[in-house]
Structure 1
Amino acid sequence: MTTLEQQQLAARMTDKIARIDALAAQAKILPVITIAREEDILPLADALAAGGLTCLEVTLRSPLGLTAIKLLREQRPELLVGAGTVLDRHMLAATEAAGSQFTVTPGVTQDMLEAGVDSPIPLLPGISSPSELMMGYALGYRRFKLFPAEVSGGVAAIKAFAGPFGEVRFCPTGGVGPGNLKSYMSQPNVMCVGGSWMLDSAWIKNRDWGRIQECSAEALALLS
């Protein structure tokens, strides 16, 4: 890689870091959504937004993930909509085509990290160890998802990462809820958290959108 190419790469990654920081500042809490019924897409998003959660991670754990991203980008342009559970560059390309504004992965491979560097949208790689973090760091990544957060050491791990990786900030996801939300968000190297506790399966099944709105608002209130 020439010096010019290195400078161009650094500039692209700096821009993506800034974009992730902006979405994290808007999100604070990033709801992790898996869609089971197409008719739930808009009312579920509306309930979250009414509760104050306007930055959404729609996972590709169901066949409706891409459908949901495309529909929300078309029908709810005021929301910030990204794709989660993206496992390879083919899934990444599909999320780009659907209009995703950011991408989140549960883990990393060298190929996935390189695909994220080339992608026009910012990628938030999932890591659970210093070695995985350093794979991304070498390519210019400075923002990561810690997953599964509680299993991977929780707040203690976040504190430990702060020493050797002073530039890095995290979105802990996995085991985060009302009981430990403030503990995570009080860490200087935590930019937002991901979670699904406001998306109780029974509430969704029963279309109890009011309860989802209420739980979302209660979660944000914990941070005020």
Structure 2
Amino acid sequence: MTMNIETKQQHVEATMRLAPVIPVVIIEDAKHAVPMARALVAGGIPAIEVTLRTPAALDAIRAIAAEVEGAVVGVGTVLTASDLQAAERAGARFAVSPGMSPKLLAAADDSTLPLLPGIATASEAMALFERGYRHLKFFPAVPAGGAKLLGAWASPLPQIRFCPTGGISLATAKDFLSLSNVLCVGGSWLTPGDKLNAGDWAGIEQLAREAAALRA
């Protein structure tokens, strides 16, 4: 059964409000997925975006969905209808795309998976707002104009809330989170490849704690 766009948007908003940062994860080895997700949840970061950039991604999503209590696992780098369908079968609870296309939006209409689509311009934001999307990913955030651009959109696009992603660090996240139209940011700094490969789950938990404290 498909949900209507407004119900899906409510799910997206709830996910965006879980913590100030949604980690954007590139996972090379599915066996790292469960301990990584447990470390993130323990550090106060429950929503996790596993990107479809490696062959291990769907297995990682499946494992986190099945085994990690408190985790809200989503799928990132969604480009096609088949990406959406595969992620839904794997147990993803939300989907994120770097941009938008007519075919992907049509597939999202037919899917139960709530979509957070990416935009980089005011015109793209308006086009998605016309379709009922009130929550959008701003990508790539820093190269596309950063916090100044998003802040400039707050007045003419007051109904839209953003998750800026791309080029953001712990040090710069507050520049975005201080904006009235930003609910959270996406960041890859919480799960760096060296810590994943070394199995440094305590280190990842500490990075998660620092990110969770951004809201304080």
TM-score of the superposition, structure 2-length normalised? 0.95
8 Å CA contact 2:135–2:161 kept in 1: the answer is yes
Name which of 177, 183, 196 aligns with 1:204: 196
- Shift of residue 33, structure 1, vs aligned partner: 0.8
Q: Secondary structure at the match of 1:179?
A: helix
8 Å CA contact 1:117–1:139 kept in 2: the answer is no
Counterparts of residues 127-142 of structure 1 (less than 5 Å): 127-142=119-134
Name which of 82, 94, 100 aligns with 2:86: 94
Q: Secondary structure at the match of 2:186?
A: strand
Counterparts of residues 1-224 of structure 1 (less than 5 Å): 12-224=4-216
Supply the distance in 2 between the matched residues of 1:90 and 1:77 (Cα, whole angstroms). 27
- Shift of residue 45, structure 1, vs aligned partner: 0.9
Greater C-alpha radius of gyration = 1
* Equivalent residue letter for 2:127: M
Supply the distance in 1 between the matched residues of 2:86 and 2:48 (Cα, whole angstroms). 17
Deviation digits for residues 125-157 of structure 1, max 9, x if unmatched?
011012222221221111100011000111111
Q: Secondary structure at the match of 1:78?
A: coil
Deviation digits for residues 41-80 of structure 1, max 9, x if unmatched?
1111111111111111011101111111111111124211
Deviation digits for residues 112-135 of structure 1, max 9, x if unmatched?
122212221210001101222222
Q: Secondary structure at the match of 1:155?
A: helix
Q: Secondary structure at the match of 2:75?
A: strand
Q: Secondary structure at the match of 2:133?
A: coil
- The CA RMSD measured in Å over matched residues stands at 1.5
* Equivalent residue letter for 2:88: E
Q: Secondary structure at the match of 1:17?
A: helix
Supply the distance in 2 between the matched residues of 1:205 and 1:68 (Cα, whole angstroms). 15
Runs of 4+ in 1 over 2 A off after TM superposition: none
* Equivalent residue letter for 1:170: F
Supply the distance in 1 between the matched residues of 2:63 and 2:193 (Cα, whole angstroms). 21
Deviation digits for residues 75-131 of structure 1, max 9, x if unmatched?
124211110000011111111111111000011111112221222121000110122
Supply the distance in 1 between the matched residues of 2:90 and 2:58 (Cα, whole angstroms). 6
Deviation digits for residues 168-202 of structure 1, max 9, x if unmatched?
00000011111111111111100111001121221
* Equivalent residue letter for 1:175: G
8 Å CA contact 1:89–1:115 kept in 2: the answer is yes
Supply the distance in 2 between the matched residues of 1:59 and 1:126 (Cα, whole angstroms). 14
Supply the distance in 1 between the matched residues of 2:110 and 2:151 (Cα, whole angstroms). 31
Supply the distance in 1 between the matched residues of 2:30 and 2:167 (Cα, whole angstroms). 27
